[in-house]
Amino acid sequence: MANLFWKALLIPVLLQCSFPSFANVDTLNSEGVTESGKDRHWQENGDSDDISLQQLQENYNNNTLELMEFIKSLTTTLSKRLDILEKNSLSKSTTSKPLNESISSGDIAAGVPDDYSLTVEIVNYLDVELTDYQLFLGFGLIHQGDPTVVAAKTREVVTFKRVPYGAAPHGVLLYRVGDTGVSLHLVFYHAIFAVGFLENKALISTIWPIWEGCNKYTHSGTPDSMKCIGDIEIRQNQIRNLTIHHGPIYTKLTIQTKKIHHRWILTMEVFKLDT
């Protein structure tokens, strides 16, 4: 619908911009030759046979056809660009869903054109927002999503892909958990995945040493507030889970691998559990 509006708007503009040269030329007479042009020609050369009126008419028609083809081609190109922008806008708007509307992170992952993609679905069951989003990507690119806020009772999806012929995506992302005083950190690095609650003042790089191994990072919080797993095998289908908590705030990280196309699909659920 938006494309029809822009097409209707653009075509008259293109026509107006393209034809002023004809409007500025002396008025054509019924024979297809301008009066002033005809007078100048007769006065200077005295012989009208040097220029064929039929040739002038053919040149005029040919130029008009070429101009119309150019406008048609330009309109088609603009229409394709608008379709792409509209599709991207729709894909971004559909990544945010309330909890009662599911998002198939597996389908989203399958839509990534490259091997070695990583999809993260963040599910917020809390009554507070996940905010102050930060992302560090050592390798890889954002393919779709990049939600800076996960509103209360909603879910979001972000998908990463590798740089062409490069390494699989790896890095750290974090969200501040409402006013709890802690932030949720997620590390993804090939076979190593970790999730932890850290104080809000902790930098995104604090937990990154885990990329060298789960034992390379010393956690300052309680043992139950950070978990790491270092033997995820991308060449087979499997599902692994990590669950952590900071007081009554829990996070369950589900790590699913797909042997075909070597894909990681993560689901990170944040919820409150009163004991």
Q: How far apart are CA 266 and CA 169, in angstroms?
A: 13
Residue 15: per-residue pLDDT? 47
Residue 211: per-residue pLDDT? 93
Residue 59: per-residue pLDDT? 75
Percent of the chain whose predicted confidence (pLDDT) is above 70? 68
Residue 141: per-residue pLDDT? 93
Residue 130: per-residue pLDDT? 98
What is the helix (H) or strand (E) element at residue 144, kind and residue range?
Answer: strand 141-144
Residue 230: per-residue pLDDT? 95
Q: Write out pLDDT tens, residues 228-242.
A: 999 999 889 999 999
- What pTM, to 2 d.p., does this model score? 0.64
Paired with 19 in beta bridges are none
Q: How far apart are CA 119 and CA 165, in angstroms?
A: 19
Instruction: Assess contact for 66 and 60: CB atoms under 8 A.
Output: no
Residue 96: per-residue pLDDT? 64
Q: How far apart are CA 270 and CA 252, in angstroms?
A: 7
Q: How far apart are CA 214 and CA 216, in angstroms?
A: 6
Q: How far, CA to CA in Å, does 178 sit from each of 111, 152, 156, 221, 249?
A: 32, 10, 16, 18, 11
Q: How far apart are CA 34 and CA 63, in angstroms?
A: 17
Q: Write out pLDDT tens, residues 101-111.
A: 655 555 555 66
SS3 (DSSP) at 114: coil
Residue 60: per-residue pLDDT? 72
Weakly modelled stretches of the chain, pLDDT under 70 = 1-52, 77-97, 99-113, 275
Q: Any alpha helices (H) in 208-270, and if so which ranges? A: none
Residue 94 tokens read as: 């559909």
SS3 (DSSP) at 142: strand
SS3 (DSSP) at 98: strand
Residue 260: per-residue pLDDT? 85
